[in-house]
Structure 1
Amino acid sequence: MRRESITIDSYTILYTLKTVTHFYNAPLLRHLHAHIVKLGFTSNVYVMSSLLHGYTNVCFKDACNMFDEMSERSAVAWNTMITGFSRLGNVDKARCLFHEMPVRSVASWAAMISGYVSNGCWNNGIEVFREMVRDEKVKPDEFTLCAVLGGCGRMDMIGLVLGKSVHGFIVRNEWGVNVELGTALVDMYAKCGFLKVATLVFNRMRETNVVSWTALICGAAQNGYVNEARTLFERMQKMGVRPNEFTFTGILSACVQAGLVEEGRRYFQMIGEYDLKPNVHHYCCIVDLFGKAGELEDAYAVIMTMKPTANMNVWGSFLNSCKVQNNFKMAERVIYKVLEMLRPEYDGGVYTLISDLFVMGEKWDDAERMRRLIVSQNVRKARGVSFMSSRSNLRT
């Protein structure tokens, strides 16, 4: 276009930025940045915001440098950096930027809440929401409420109380419950174990989609309502809604809980019938299902067909089943291969499991070597986390 002397406008630049960002090409993005400067688009808020967004996806260090050099920062630029730091897990830096903002829009509050929730800092996300409500200058929007409800669904009973208050906020303000907000409510109630309320919200929704159905199915499975999960899955199929990968994870986990081997096998085969490929969660479920039923040969055969190869979650499930079934011969087929994959900082439980298996198989020398390895590499099991509420705060 430049060689043909065709005028390049902001729309052309924005479209080009979107394309370059899609291909994650840092050198090309920097080259385009140079042209943006030469063409005089540095004062165009939309162009510069789009460029900053591109850097957060392609090269975050460049995004930080660009943000620091900006003489005037739009709300979009601040929100982009908050989201970028949150995506990298650095919610403390995101919160610092949030407090530095001269003016916070509803998108800013939503970005901060979503950042906390996506990083498992649910209590912090709820506290930011409370701060937003107290501020009264900005009212929550649909995206903010969905983020808050997502956090509530992971906080057990205290989350249920907070989720109900959000639901009350929606009703008091006479908000229409669209598919996104309705799905968030269904997901929250289902994860908190209130399947009847989740179903009531679901049935009142004017529009539903596969995400709504999946939220209900996974909630039922998570809380042990196996028959309900299966009924919902069949009902969804009859309605012509195609299940996705998450739907199959939910229904397979329900089969694991109830020990429904043949049903689980059928659902696992059904994944391919919907032109989907089994993911690691599906494999974990089916291996766990076969293993608990004592069908270790079937579990092993499934693992051997995995593409890409099995990760530590799958191997850990298989080895644990070998231990439960008191079958060291099956464990011995893979145990040395698994040892080569172990990482002390992440797989402490598997180290202990393998040590126990060596003892079970009367491999005393190997068991002793494992114990020495555990001590020398300072291997520790991942600690569990529990939650308790204290007045308005949630503590771990």
Structure 2
Amino acid sequence: MFPLPMTQMNGLARQAELLVSRTECFNLWTFFIRGRRTYTKPHYRNSYDYTDLLQHCRNTKSIKKLHAQIIIGGLHQNPYVASKLVGKYVECGDSSMGDARKVFDELTERDVFVWNMVIQGYANVGPFAEALKMCNRMRLSGLSPNRYTYPFVLKACGAMRDGKQGQVVHGQIVKSGLDLQLFVGNALVALYSKCEEVEVSRRVFDELPLKDLVSWNSMISGYATNGYPNEAVEIFRAMIQGPTTCLPDHATLVCVLPACIEASAIEVGFWIHSYIVKASIKVDSALGSALISMYANCGRVRVSRVIFDRVSDKNVVLWSAMMRCYGMHGHTDEVLQMFLQFEESGLYPDAVVVLCLLSTCSHAGMVSKGLEIFEKMEDYGVEKNEKHYACIVDLLGRAGLIDRAVKFIESMPIQPGKDVYGALLGACRIHNNIELAEETAEKLFVLDPGNAGRYILLASMYEDAGRWEDAARVRRLIREKNIKKPTGRSSIEVDCIYHTFGADDESHPYTDQIFDTLERMDRIMEEAIVMV
């Protein structure tokens, strides 16, 4: 005897037919009828069986077959089975998100877990705004989001770079008393970092009563990706040396190594490499490329090559880092030889690899080779962008082929921008072509009006030619337009604290003592010179 009326069972059959073919549905239905004699409480007897089978589904097709069995078995309204089914559809990505939503919409009763599964799916694959809408619907249904809901919603806000909406969610979190919960706090740190509000991110981080590895990684990544390398290194030091020491993992090291390079904190980079060796951390392409870049900046090309050779799973990023290392130190032959090996390995260059090759050829004066690589970009499947065109202008300009560079710009299929004209102005400076420099500078004053370097370069050319009035006119433009030239800055680390100084900078709290010390050192040096 069936527990469901035949009309309802026919409805289930029609739902199942939407997922699988009529023949497959008939086979499933026959198996179900023959295999079971009583159906008093199938929800409790079969739900664990179905969820266990769902774990073994590897693609959408197998999930839909099992979904059809769940419908025929009458378990499609079971919250436990439905949430697992939604989760499996979510795992399949964007293409199956619609199926997950259908399962959810057909549920008559929804618990927090199934709401979280759908919100997580939208936060992972989009549309991200839908995750926020679902969270609001959940609250209106009478259910309160929990410590697992809010991280998904905050992730969606971060993906949209929507800081204002993130602040609204943050307010809801504070009202619910979950703002100091670890999972939620970590998500808030990541959100504000993605929205370029690093100061707010740091405040949230400092207020967390407990911090785990994710907390530290999120804060380090936030500083590193938003242009605060010194702060990234500082927070890394606090992580490994503070009272609650937390050992870094692979993700930590990949984040902090670029910051070490930018902050010139090479000793920290050396410590990281030693830690990698001692902790037997596998150096993959991501970690290897970061180490190569660090040693390249130190001029240790051989060490970079040793690291490169030891990485087994070499990808385009790793090859690019090694070629860039050779290129920045003038090893042109090694760059081209590596590129041949790169092609022989079966990989295809991307835009970054081609840019590295063109830059190397430009600085080495290899015009023919650079043009050959540029022409092959379509064969490689790499789309030419302005930086590639600018490299060719620089290549021709450095070689003294300025007229050819101008004709190349005129034949470009895209509108030349500031990078292209900047390369041409640099070539004019090298070969003292003032007339063309004037024309090029006028274009740059429109395309890149806030760049003081363009004005200063033209003024310097006028001064070299003895055209003092023209030089004064250009420098007057800088003052009238209130264009600020970025000042050079130096930094020194004392007791793990970075002190930064600019020209004529008196902002440091110990300015008087610093200048007094410098004056004493000057006197000592003068006395030493007199004695000699």
**How has the CA–CA distance of structure 1 residues 15 and 271 changed in structure 2, closer, same or farther, with 3 Å as cutoff?**
same
Report the CA distance between 1:142 and its aligned residue: 0.6
Task: Map Cα deviations across residues 82-108 of structure 1 (whole Å, 9 max, x no partner).
Answer: 233333443322222211112112111
| Aligned ranges 1:225-304 → 2 under 5 Å | 225-304=331-410
AA partner of residue 190 (structure 2): T
Name the stretch that deviates more: 194-203 or 181-190.
Answer: 181-190
Match status 1:61 vs 2:164? yes
AA partner of residue 149 (structure 1): L
Task: Map Cα deviations across residues 319-352 of structure 1 (whole Å, 9 max, x no partner).
Answer: 1211322223433544433333342xx3111122
Name the stretch that deviates more: 40-49 or 364-373.
Answer: 364-373
Question: 1:259–1:292: 8 Å Cα contact kept in structure 2?
Answer: yes
| Aligned ranges 1:53-202 → 2 under 5 Å | 53-58=155-160, 59-70=162-173, 71=176, 72-73=178-179, 74-135=181-242, 136-156=244-264, 158-159=265-266, 161-202=267-308
- Alpha-carbon separation, structure 2, partners of 1:206 and 1:337: 48
Please identify the structure whose Cα radius of gyration is greater: 2
Question: 1:154–1:191: 8 Å Cα contact kept in structure 2?
Answer: no
**How has the CA–CA distance of structure 1 residues 186 and 295 changed in structure 2, closer, same or farther, with 3 Å as cutoff?**
same
Task: Map Cα deviations across residues 272-322 of structure 1 (whole Å, 9 max, x no partner).
Answer: 221111233323322222111111233234434556533323322211211
Report the CA distance between 1:368 and its aligned residue: 5.5
- Alpha-carbon separation, structure 1, partners of 2:493 and 2:387: 31
**How has the CA–CA distance of structure 1 residues 95 and 224 changed in structure 2, closer, same or farther, with 3 Å as cutoff?**
farther
Question: 2:349–2:382: 8 Å Cα contact kept in structure 1?
Answer: no
Residue 322 (structure 2) aligned to one of 216, 229, 250: 216
Question: 2:158–2:194: 8 Å Cα contact kept in structure 1?
Answer: no
Give the match for residue 45 of structure 2. Answer: none
**How has the CA–CA distance of structure 1 residues 389 and 262 changed in structure 2, closer, same or farther, with 3 Å as cutoff?**
farther
Give the match for residue 379 of structure 1. Answer: 483
**How has the CA–CA distance of structure 1 residues 301 and 31 changed in structure 2, closer, same or farther, with 3 Å as cutoff?**
farther
Identify which of structures 1 and 2 has the higher relative contact order when contacts are C-alpha pairs closer than 8 Å and 6+ apart: 1
Question: 1:17–1:29: 8 Å Cα contact kept in structure 2?
Answer: yes
Residue 353 (structure 1) aligned to one of 442, 446, 457: 457
AA partner of residue 34 (structure 1): N
Name the stretch that deviates more: 287-296 or 13-22.
Answer: 13-22
Give the match for residue 313 of structure 1. Answer: 419
AA partner of residue 141 (structure 1): D
Question: 2:158–2:195: 8 Å Cα contact kept in structure 1?
Answer: no
AA partner of residue 370 (structure 1): V
Report the CA distance between 1:63 and its aligned residue: 0.2
Question: 1:21–1:57: 8 Å Cα contact kept in structure 2?
Answer: no
Question: 1:349–1:382: 8 Å Cα contact kept in structure 2?
Answer: no
AA partner of residue 136 (structure 2): A
**How has the CA–CA distance of structure 1 residues 128 and 329 changed in structure 2, closer, same or farther, with 3 Å as cutoff?**
same
Name the stretch that deviates more: 353-362 or 175-184.
Answer: 353-362
Over the matched positions of the two proteins, sequence identity in percent amounts to 29
- Alpha-carbon separation, structure 2, partners of 1:36 and 1:361: 73
**How has the CA–CA distance of structure 1 residues 107 and 232 changed in structure 2, closer, same or farther, with 3 Å as cutoff?**
same
AA partner of residue 456 (structure 2): T
Q: Cα RMSD between the aligned structures?
A: 3.0
Name the stretch that deviates more: 314-323 or 383-392.
Answer: 383-392
Report the CA distance between 1:370 and its aligned residue: 3.1
Report the CA distance between 1:55 and its aligned residue: 1.7
Count of matched residue pairs = 388
AA partner of residue 350 (structure 1): R
TM-score normalised by structure 2 residue count: 0.66
- Alpha-carbon separation, structure 1, partners of 2:136 and 2:321: 46
Question: 2:220–2:232: 8 Å Cα contact kept in structure 1?
Answer: yes
What SS does the corresponding residue of 1:242 show, helix, strand or coil?
A: coil
TM-score normalised by structure 1 residue count: 0.86
- Alpha-carbon separation, structure 2, partners of 1:191 and 1:103: 37
